[in-house]
Amino acid sequence: MFRKTCENVIDHGARVVCQVLLPRGSVPVAASSPSSSTTTGTTLNSSSGQPSSAPRLPPQQTETLFRESCTREFRNVIGKIKLYLDFSVGGGGAGIGTRGVLVRRVRERVVEGYREFLDAVGQSQVVKKEEEEGNEFMGVDVLGRMLSEIVEEAEGGTGYS
């Protein structure tokens, strides 16, 4: 039961942050299939359950919205996890271990969702590159560092990214 609850928290957190990466009118497979291990990738049309051909925003605009979502929504997800898993859970600060695992897994899923977005828009070469001058998309390493900084800020320096 506890494991399933943790998986639901991870799925929900990653879905909230990555929602802007999906075509409009679609839901991630993970939202409709609890056994799915990824957050994005194949999407389903929310009304028919068929693969979606819904229109996407231009990739650059989507990427900009995703950065904003990471800053706002990832921080909110961390706050919600902190709310329920206080340092006092289990005595002696045991809550930070579970909390750290949950935050780390949400972070990993967000990075994976962004990697899949880059593949979908034909920018997979950015996956292995740092942010370069003239490149419109951030690399996944840059995203990982950005999310780690958000964790550090949200945790007041106790980060476990």
Residue 41 lies in a domain: yes
Give yes or no for residue 11 having a pLDDT over 60. Answer: yes
pTM passes above 0.85: no
- The answer to whether position 116 is within a domain reads yes
- Looking at the domain assignment, is residue 136 inside a domain? yes
pLDDT in tens, 40-94: 443 433 344 444 455 668 888 999 999 999 999 999 999 999 888 865 434 444 4
Q: What is the pLDDT of residue 4?
A: 92
- CA separation (Å) from 103 to 34, 81, 107, 109, 144? 19, 8, 6, 10, 13
User: In this predicted structure, what is the pLDDT of residue 105?
Assistant: 95
Q: Is residue 160 assigned to a domain?
A: no
For residue 105, being part of any structural domain is answered with yes
Domain region containing 104: 2-154
86 in a structural domain: yes
How many structural domains comprise the chain? 1
Residue 161 domain-assigned?
Answer: no
